[in-house]
Chain A
């Protein structure tokens, strides 16, 4: 970095909340740093203070139990999620998406929650977490609230977080544990790349959920489908929900084609 900022790494959540409350818009939360530090370098963000949340022990926790479900703390990296046995056993869709997120060394730093808070339309962890009906636990010095993930995204690179708040953890409810899941991501090379389009589908019992990335200003949940539903019906709904554009990564037309194709493939594959 050649643009200066202050830095603080509180060890207690209370301390963190105090800093966020007093610094408001001037503070940026640092977890993996893989988006934040790039944005600061490019002059896209100008925080006065960078607040490192990794020293707070609860943030590094990843837990699963049958009552609460899966809880992923704010400092848990992509690789930690991928390597976690409970995740591997109960949430295969998360592993699928994590595997193709950037490169190994980036996954060693990048966090799941950072990926969501960056709120890029192409955030790889968003489609599976939308499909798994994850909730976002938001904390500030005035209390806590939680939102379903689909309500958390507000636009391109925008979330519902207000100054003073941060995401403490996300929780995947137990009802989606052991759901079958699949993830498709179109990349321009076979090596690490941002998704040109991605689709996730999870299925548990009679329930199916489908989400699409890089096809609208935010990752979108197509919806929840119960019982016998035709592939055509899911595709039709997906087409209504997405709103892709032409950009350097691909055309809207191609993205619509891929959405159809991937949904059809996943409807067949995930049983």
Chain B
């Protein structure tokens, strides 16, 4: 899709066009799901478990039901429907047992939110509290209680996943490349260490919201803040055994998702409440506190890496063991495990590799997709480990990375051969190294150290990620010409802030040779009116939908030329067009306007030809395959986007307090379709990555209660938390099969920020951290070589609110 256009002649692609989705966002007119108020709408509230693991002895809803204005109450007992993306393991609400703190056990729909709340307060639940499974490594023990004793009976995607019934293992992904034992025999050094990180909340500014209306004859309409309307419909229909034509999912503006809204969440609940309330629409708006434990988070990871090295700096063998803490349900965590299991080494070539990646069930809020899809988490371990390895053999860490970086000719962990068109990770590293004056302190930095008494450290970390998606993922773009010759585009990537709708509009404008003003993109998504797309995830939107957009534009032009050829009595091959008209190449004055043909051309006598000019483009990922379950070999990657971050940090060697002075980030995006959109992703993702690195993360007590389920004790970065300087760089190695050479870059800016920061802190003051986030206290403890605070289990004292 790249080679058919001379990059020098591009007019719209590559320019910083304004976004197509912001007008209503700027004026307050943009309607998000919680802004919708439907006639007769009821308001829902959820009763949630205060325990991590318990048997439900009894639920008494009688007092709640007696409250005037209560229209429906549901408990898990009456909802024998299981949902699940990859393993169908979750009831709509807890049935018989609760598996995590905050899990829904009952729900109410009432005339007002006040009545719903009062009713929820009146529901009595009697529990028998059980000992929870909290540690994902201990969950591995055969003597551990089982979170899902019925694992063997669940449906799951057998071609891809391997649950182990009778254990807490929801999935075991294996990868075997080369000969590990031989590799370790050839090594001069063996370096082994474990790295950990906690669960993290996505924190979209808009919490999850759903409205459901279950009408007569099982006609269901769902309005939702979901990222992936077609997946919601598909999973909903699967759970309730309804034909797809019966269920309509509408997604208006979405206030951020970051993966947390990728699956199906509140939709079945509101639909069931509506069904029981005689079909009245029911709305549920998650509170911020519910966002932390009723809704999913990012999985915690314990990552063991054992690396064999030669004196010349080459990695010859690496054994990687991952324990992903899925929490109570498999959701996306099993696929995070799979995607991490084939890229767990980062963008480095490992000739002999062995990976066992386990998804472990525990009694905690469950993990789902989160920007980076596992890569933020394992990259923390890998990038810290790369520095440890480099130090072990006395090599500069950047040099060590370059020696081992994937390059043309390298084989990835799954056996895919890298080519010159795959992208250039070394260039990304070199660019950020240059931007931070890597390897030395400038005169100003030296003067600053002297003045402040603090130490300055620098580091570079590299990253890669491919879209994690089924090998046959597909999408459609439909273009319709309006009466005046403007064009309306429909496709079903939800615009959740990522900017893809703008970039796709640019691709359409470019291919049609139309100005941007003539392209209208439909921003909301409705499964009833819009064509299929799998999901809005994985940084695959621009590549797949962009390609479909090119095909749709070509299809539209083909139809226009067909009609114009008849009118002008010429072969379509002899035609050309501009943004107004189709004309004869050899007689440009003989032309017909798009406006005349837009909905069918009429001759002076009234005879008509043509009809509305439309264009359809379908695109499906090509040449990808499932991975061999025993060896992990295969072709999973649509494309690889490489990148690197360079960080300068200033650390107080006494207190552990640190300031991030600069972050430079580079990504090989292939082609920056819209440089401002790329920059928005680069900077926004970087700061979200810093949040993960510096301050975010779940903390539990020994009974599995979440201790910080709000912004009071789960801080996210504010404008004050920006590094003093931020630089964003796009490397452009065209992706041959990407639209105008482009690759996705939605998730990548968040990856490897943590590792780069950890390494820079260590380079500054020697604090050696293996757990993130790196709070000031953690750095302080590391400086004193004190064992780090156990972030998973902490006592609850007077300082915290439950």
B452 neighbours in A (Cβ, 8 Å): none
Contact of B720 with A121 in the complex, beta carbons under 8 Å:
no
CB < 8 Å: which of B114, B708, B797 contacts A2?
A: B114
Does B702 touch A at the CB level, under 8 Å?
Answer: no
Given contacts A194-B712, A214-B799, A248-B708, contact A189 B717 (CB under 8 A): yes
Q: Which residue of B lies closest to A214 (CB)?
A: B799
The SS class assigned to the B binding surface is: loop
Q: Which residue of A lies closest to B796 (CB)?
A: A247
CB < 8 Å: which of A43, A121, A193, A254 contacts B777?
A: A254
Contact of A191 with B707 in the complex, beta carbons under 8 Å:
no
* Residues of chain B from 349 to 383 with CB closer than 8 A to chain A in the complex: none
Q: How far is the CA of A3 from the CA of B118 in the complex (A)?
A: 8
A3 neighbours in B (Cβ, 8 Å): 114, 117
Q: How large is the interface on A (under 10, 10 to 19, 20 to 34, 35 or more residues)?
A: 20 to 34
Contact of B797 with A189 in the complex, beta carbons under 8 Å:
no
Interface centre among A4, A44, A191, A258 (most CB of B within 10 A): A191
Contact with B along A258-271 (1 / 0, CB 8 A): 10010000000000
Q: How far is the CA of A237 from the CA of B775 in the complex (A)?
A: 28
Q: How large is the interface on B (under 10, 10 to 19, 20 to 34, 35 or more residues)?
A: 35 or more
Q: Which residue of B lies closest to A191 (CB)?
A: B718
Contact of A217 with B720 in the complex, beta carbons under 8 Å:
no
Contact of B655 with A192 in the complex, beta carbons under 8 Å:
no
* Residues of chain B from 222 to 239 with CB closer than 8 A to chain A in the complex: none
Contact of A189 with B114 in the complex, beta carbons under 8 Å:
no
B712 neighbours in A (Cβ, 8 Å): 194
Contact of A2 with B800 in the complex, beta carbons under 8 Å:
no
Q: How far is the CA of A249 from the CA of B781 in the complex (A)?
A: 14
The SS class assigned to the A binding surface is: loop
Contact of B114 with A249 in the complex, beta carbons under 8 Å:
no
A68 neighbours in B (Cβ, 8 Å): none
B795 neighbours in A (Cβ, 8 Å): 245-247
Contact of A189 with B794 in the complex, beta carbons under 8 Å:
no
A217 neighbours in B (Cβ, 8 Å): 798
Contact of A247 with B797 in the complex, beta carbons under 8 Å:
yes
Q: How far is the CA of A194 from the CA of B799 in the complex (A)?
A: 10
Contact of A189 with B654 in the complex, beta carbons under 8 Å:
no
B708 neighbours in A (Cβ, 8 Å): 248
B720 neighbours in A (Cβ, 8 Å): 189-192
Does B715 touch A at the CB level, under 8 Å?
Answer: yes
Q: How far is the CA of A190 from the CA of B707 in the complex (A)?
A: 22
Contact of B800 with A254 in the complex, beta carbons under 8 Å:
no
* Residues of chain B from 82 to 121 with CB closer than 8 A to chain A in the complex: 113-114, 116-117, 121
Q: How far is the CA of A44 from the CA of B712 in the complex (A)?
A: 15
Contact of B719 with A248 in the complex, beta carbons under 8 Å:
no
Residues of B whose CB lies within 8 Å of any CB of A are: 113-114, 116-117, 121, 289, 654-655, 694-695, 699, 707-708, 712-713, 715-721, 775-777, 780-781, 789, 794-801
Residues of A whose CB lies within 8 Å of any CB of B are: 2-4, 42-44, 121-122, 156, 186, 188-194, 196, 214, 217, 245-251, 254, 257-258, 261
28 sampled A-B residue pairs with Cβ under 8 A: A2-B113, A2-B116, A2-B117, A3-B114, A4-B114, A122-B799, A188-B695, A189-B695, A189-B717, A189-B721, A190-B720, A191-B715, A191-B721, A192-B718, A214-B799, A245-B798, A246-B794, A248-B699, A248-B707, A248-B799, A249-B713, A249-B799, A250-B777, A251-B777, A254-B777, A254-B780, A254-B781, A261-B655
